[in-house]
Amino acid sequence: MRVLFCILSLFITLNLLGKEINVTYPRDPFSLQLIVMKKKGLLQKEFAKDGIKIKFHDITMGQEQTRAVAAGKIDICGSLNTSSIIVAAGKNIKLNIVRAVCNSTGTIALMTTNPNIKSIKDLKGKTIASVKGGNFQQLILEAFVRHNMTIKDVNYISMSLPETYNALVAGKVDAGVLSTIEMLEAKKRGARVLTTAKGLMQGKLVVAVSESFAKNHPDWVKRYIKVQDEAMEFIKNHKHEALELAAEDLGISYQDAEWLYNNTKLINTFNKDDIISLKKDIDFLYEQKLIPRKVNILAKGAGIEIAFENFVRNHISLCAVSCK
């Protein structure tokens, strides 16, 4: 019996050796839970006892995250906007939403440095830049619809977030969509906010995992969720320390970290309004031809319902799949 036990233990040990979980670590928008999970070593400690390594990847943009998932390079997107998940679903890239992160409505804005631009309507014929395909482009489209405009009324350029920031402050574009750190820095350099996402759309950030990871490692997903809940509890009880960690990690002042915290609603679960806005986002992105057909990212199918007992009833195990 002892020999059998030793053989079994050796098998388990060898089976775990070399295993790792690849997690995206976007620095934008403000995902305080993820920062705490990494900087306090909470996630690493949770899996280290099983010999599983956590490998963080500095991938910020939503489309880059979903492409990395599709390529098999990423298992867990630590903070990903739902618009990018919808766009990915339109391309048959399937992701499972396993936890909410935050509502970032107050920390994403369409900004300008052009003194002649006073309103959204003044953007007609002007050059506008943003990240394409996610919350950033959606904000532009939502603002234009509100003012009876379309993307054809401007010269729209697709740029990464750092490129948008640099082009805006250098006066090479008339307006651009920025968020969190770049938004704060642009304000310091004289940029003005034309509109935030407030009243136009509800920016929703979530934790999303690849479909195969959800099916093959439901227990690991559950443990990730447990650690995020621990991070939320740490933030609740040690807010000052958490913001100090964020300021150091992001290279910003404590005051800026506090502003981001106060303008970002940290959440673990969706409420009814979040679900309604998610459905509206799908309709809007389809109408704007950013997805080829309406998709459904509220379908069951990941097989890990046990991990989501606190998630929205009837919408646990959210999975991005295309509707037929």
* Count of C-beta atoms within a 10 Å radius of residue 74: 27
pLDDT one digit per residue (tens) for the chain, 324 residues = 554 444 444 444 434 445 999 999 998 778 999 999 999 999 999 999 899 999 999 998 888 999 999 999 999 999 999 999 999 999 989 898 989 999 988 899 999 999 999 999 999 999 999 998 788 999 999 999 999 999 999 999 999 999 999 999 999 999 999 998 999 999 999 999 999 998 888 889 999 998 889 889 999 999 999 999 999 999 999 999 999 999 999 999 999 999 999 999 999 888 888 888 888 999 999 999 888 988 877 655 433 343 444 444 433 344 443 333
Q: Could you write out the DSSP letters of every residue in 220-241?
A: HHHHHHHHHHHHHHHHHH-HHH
CB-count burial class (<10 Å; 0-12, 13-18, 19+) for 199:
exposed
* Exposed / middle / buried, residue 183 (Cβ in 10 Å: 0-12, 13-18, 19+): buried
Among residues 173, 177, 142, the alpha carbon closest in space to that of 28 is found at: 177
Instruction: Record the tokens describing residue 188, joined without a space.
Output: 């310091």
CA distance 72 to 155: 35
Q: Which H or E run includes 48?
A: helix 42-48
* Residues 25 and 56 sit within 8 Å (Cβ to Cβ): yes
Which tokens is 251 given? 């290279």
Q: 150: buried, middle or exposed (CB in 10 Å: 19+, 13-18, 0-12)?
A: exposed
- The pLDDT, as a whole number, for residue 313 is 41
- Residues paired with 287 in a beta bridge: none
The answer to whether 83 touches 285, Cβ cutoff 8 Å, is yes
Domains and CATH numbers, the chain: 17-103+203-258+266-322 (3.40.190.10), 106-196 (3.40.190.10)
Q: What is the pLDDT of residue 55?
A: 97
